[in-house]
Amino acid sequence: MDVADQRTGTTQVKDDLADRCQKLFQDFLEEFQVDGEVKYLPEVQELIRPERNTLTVSFDDVQNHNQQLATTIQEEYYRVYSHLCRAVCNFARDCGQVPPNKEFYVAFEEVPTRHKVRELTTAKIGTLTRISGQVVRTHPVHPELVSGTFVCLDCQSVVKDVEQQFKYTQPTICRNPVCANRSRFMLDVNKSRFVDFQKVRIQETQAELPRGSIPRSVEVILRAEAVEIPQAGDKCDFTGSLIVVPDVSQMSVPGARAETSAKVRGNDTYQAEGVRGLKALGVRDLNYRLAFLSCNVEPTNPKFGGKDMRGDDLTAESIKKQMTEQEWQKVYEMSRDKNLYHNLIQSLFPTIHGNDEVKRGILLMLFGGVPKTTQEGTSLRGDINVCVIGDPSTAKSQFLKAVEEFSPRAVYTSGKASSAAGLTAAVVKDEESYEFVIEAGALMLADNGVCCIDEFDKMDLKDQVAIHEAMEQQTISITKAGIKATLNARTSILAAANPVGGRYDKSKPLKQNINLSAPIMSRFDLFFILVDECNEVTDYAIARRIVDLHSHNEESVDRKYSIEDMQRYMMFARQFRPKISKEAQEFMVEEYRRLRQRDTNGVTMSSWRITVRQLESMIRLSESMARMYCQDEVQPKHVKEAFRLLNKSIIRVETPVINFEEEEDQPGEDEEVEMETEQQQPLPEKQDDEAAKLKLRMTFEEYKTKSNLLILYMRKKEEELEASDEETGGMRRSDLVEWYLKEMESDIETEEELIQEKTKIEKVIDRLVHHDQVLIELAKTGLKKRKVDDESQVVEEDPFLVVHPNYVLDA
């Protein structure tokens, strides 16, 4: 039987199963009631509005009404879908005035089984399936021809309702029995029906990905109201059917393209209209690929194992409903735990010994602050950024890996292997349509999650600049290839970096130890320095920890709470939006004022300038502390802990101890260690020379205070000398030492203290001359009469000292 006869209505093939499904589905829409009212009647009446065309039906309702219908829909979805849409159309026409040519669609939600991208096989083709994945690429919305009306160019007959399915399909033959035209048709655009059509590419999420595997991706086709719902970086559930489509991109390989172009290139106008079917492509072997035709898109629901920790639309009440009684009891117990702070960090990082401050900082980062929007529409970020800097083998990457495995929406990337486009977003050309589309980078994929960047210092400068906007404004702006877009990147950044030269030099400030620009440093809320120090007790404990881990892998990991418990608790705690109390506000302002004052008094060599960003960091950390304890108000104790962490991260290595004896060989020790050794000093009486050496150390603040005192006095004397117009004179070294000891005589009680103070000030002067080069020593006099070849030049024992003219005293 010729297809043309079907078009003329001679013989019509009927699908009894689909027709029965249509009738049963229409009965379901008309009869299904909740609380005595027809559930879907108001929603269908909404469809009469011109912009609406899709009815969303719960699959659970269909199962409750008619199990056989639900089974048929699930197994033969692709076959019966058009009939289900017809049932919605008939029901809508019965309910009210509907334009006669309006198309209606049906979308199913709450489909019970959910599959990963990796589980999509040919066995699932045509069935109703629900898949989850992360959107990595979105294409522009196009109109798709659903049903075409064609005009025969020979006899002007009209062929109506030619169904199109993923390729341009013309009628096989003109419906006029006299006309034998099979190829010369023209599409009547006005009488054809179009629908919105969008293609997105989804990829397996990090949580689902087996170790060492490349993420699988699949094209998802969206139609009607489902378009523009998923954005790049979103984690969504797609309900629909797996279908097979011809792989056009594979057909356009060079050999096939040459063959195709030879076919299309002709003098007749109808031949230049385009490719008219697969036969015309001139390709014998046809490649097919799987695609997913989706009817419904919804954000991933944590109830079904999606574990989307940051459910933005969820409330604490809705999360509680999704938990079992036992799970809720566990969350309640955790919120009442007195040692919750300590237990959480031990359970989160059970294999890492020590470094509790870093663990606390990362824990608060996972809870996060409260994002806010001002009346002007400016958004204030709530995400906390943390940077860990340290010597090799101080477990930096271990922290990053632990966070990546714990947080469901975490992306791990290495700095050297990442480009600016790979971190933010890339504009790439689509292989089929040759259009420019946006492909999400690491920061977009980690939206509402954590982006772990290892080897942060190895990144190129131009790549570092790309994440400036994402770290503070939490957006990514793209203007390239004709695309101008602003995309969301609401992510916390956890970065790990090595110091310049591999090891941290404690005699230098932080900014000289790390190869990062000032703008990017100020965007980090917390900086942690991990220094690999030789300490017998610590080394023994770390060695025991590592050996235990290697020998008894399972037994040595001691967790108070399981990973699932912590994820559940974190998701519940994140729903709290604590407000700052009056006492906490005053405490915060006072602490910020102290930090700012200490930064500007010139005594400390600060790691970086204290700016308003550090105040915002304190607010975010305080909110995170309140969230951790599931409290609705930020108390002063939360601010105190936030300030302590911030203070620790700012001051940790900013005040190195200056060792005058071994300055060249030994860069110094931490201030705390020095205090311990001084307390233990009376015990070993034999080592007097050792004790003397210890006394020749001083903290950086002490050194800075003494040097500022000397420089101010010398500047004052030089000004007096200039005012008196005396040609001779100046400050000799002995005079300077004598003046200083006179100034300090009220603090000196014994002769031993006097000698010690004199030695110290001489060492300070030596350091100012030779190391800092702030003072200039005029040791050789009579320069005009000197002999070049005379090696026995007389060096004055008490030289003149002058302050370097270019030296600016820290205000």
* Concatenated DSSP letters of 582-642: HHHHHHHHHHHHHHHHHHHSSSS--SS---HHHHHHHHHHHHHHHHHTT-SEE-HHHHHHH
Q: What's the pLDDT score for residue 46? A: 82
Q: Are 485 and 444 in contact (CB under 8 A)?
A: no
Tell me the pLDDT band of 253, cut-offs 50, 70 and 90.
Answer: low
pLDDT above 60 for 791? no
- Between CA 94 and CA 101, with CA 98 as vertex, the angle to 5 degrees is 115
The dihedral over CA atoms of 322, 324, 330, 336, expressed in degrees to the nearest 10, equals 60
Residue with tokens 């001139």: 282
Q: b/e per residue, 174-209, with b = 16+ CB within 10 A?
A: bbbeebeeeebbebeeeebbebbbbbbbbbbbbbbb
Q: What's the pLDDT score for residue 260? A: 41
CA distance 136 to 138: 7
The dihedral over CA atoms of 534, 537, 542, 547, expressed in degrees to the nearest 10, equals 120
CA distance 74 to 88: 18
Two tokens, residue 684: 């070993």
CA distance 496 to 216: 28
CA distance 459 to 479: 23
275-279, 442-446, 466-470, 493-497: range with highest mean pLDDT: 493-497
pLDDT above 70 for 339? yes
Q: What's the pLDDT score for residue 780? A: 67
pLDDT tens track for 359-376: 888 888 888 888 888 888
Q: Are 521 and 511 in contact (CB under 8 A)?
A: yes
pLDDT above 60 for 793? no
Query: Phi and psi (nearest 5°) for 146?
Result: -95, -50
Q: Are 368 and 384 in contact (CB under 8 A)?
A: yes
CA distance 540 to 585: 44
Mean pLDDT of 722-746: 78
Amino acid 673 reads: V
Q: What's the pLDDT score for residue 672? A: 36
Give just the sign of the alpha carbon dihedral 401, 404, 405, 406. positive
Two tokens, residue 714: 């010398």
pLDDT tens track for 404-418: 888 777 788 887 777
3-state secondary structure of 69: helix
Tell me the pLDDT band of 123, cut-offs 50, 70 and 90.
Answer: confident
CA distance 689 to 304: 70
Two tokens, residue 731: 């400050």
CA distance 614 to 713: 35
pLDDT tens track for 231-249: 777 778 889 999 888 776 6
CA distance 586 to 578: 17
Q: What is the DSSP letter of 279?
A: G
Query: Phi and psi (nearest 5°) for 625?
Result: -65, -45
CA distance 470 to 451: 11
pLDDT above 70 for 772? yes
Closest to 792 in 3D by CA, of 780, 800, 810, 805: 780
Percent of the chain with pLDDT over 70: 79
Tell me the pLDDT band of 124, cut-offs 50, 70 and 90.
Answer: confident
3-state secondary structure of 234: coil
Between 555 and 469, name the one with better pLDDT.
469
Exposure on the CB side of residue 633, measured as CA atoms within 13 A: 7
Q: What's the pLDDT score for residue 268? A: 45
Round the CA-based radius of gyration of the chain to a whole number and report it. Answer: 37
